[in-house]
Amino acid sequence: MDDHASWATGRLLLVAARLVEREWNSVLAERGLTHAGFMTLNALSEGPQTQRQLAARTYVEEQTIRPVLDRLERDGHVRRERDPSDRRRVVVTRTPLGEGTYTELITSDVVERIVTDRVEDPEALRAELIRLITGIRGDETGR
């Protein structure tokens, strides 16, 4: 067994992220989703969007979002239709199945239990993660 106390903070963070991601992906897979699919359904919470908008909202390139949308559409979670005001654009909308699956995931306690059942002070962890993410993203945008 590794002596986790001797690990660098970065290593601890990366391993924790991978373990949480593995568990989260298992929860998603039970519902026929991937992490990218979930993020896309989340981005669609604000209503129909184009593929370009979805790529930007999920922090991926347009060509990366295409197979995600293909799978979501094949499995009945989203619908793609031509924009009536600009036939060159395709608009993506959540279907009732996509809406129900997304709502089930965000309202269930399974998401929070992945972390909160294992952390002594989940709110302090959240605050520190937000501070870390904000600091890194602030550094990236300031370049």
Q: What is the pLDDT of residue 100?
A: 95
Burial class of residue 49, CB neighbours in 10 A (0-12, 13-18, 19+) = middle
For residue 51, being part of any structural domain is answered with yes
Same domain, 68 and 118: no
Mean pLDDT on 30-47: 93
114 and 50 belong to one structural domain: no
Cα distances (Å, whole numbers) of residue 21 to 7, 29, 36, 115, 134: 20, 12, 12, 11, 20
Residue 29: pLDDT over 80: yes
Give yes or no: residues 116 and 141 share one domain: yes
- Confidence at residue 18, expressed as pLDDT on a 0 to 100 scale: 92
pLDDT over 70 (residue 141) = no
Same domain, yes or no, for 84 and 139?
no
63-78: average pLDDT:
95
Are 85 and 116 contained in the same domain? no
DSSP string, 123-140: HHHHHHHHHHHHHHHHHH
Q: What kind and span of H or E run contains 30?
A: helix 9-30
Q: Give the pair of three-digit tokens for residue 15.
A: 């391993």
pTM as predicted: 0.73
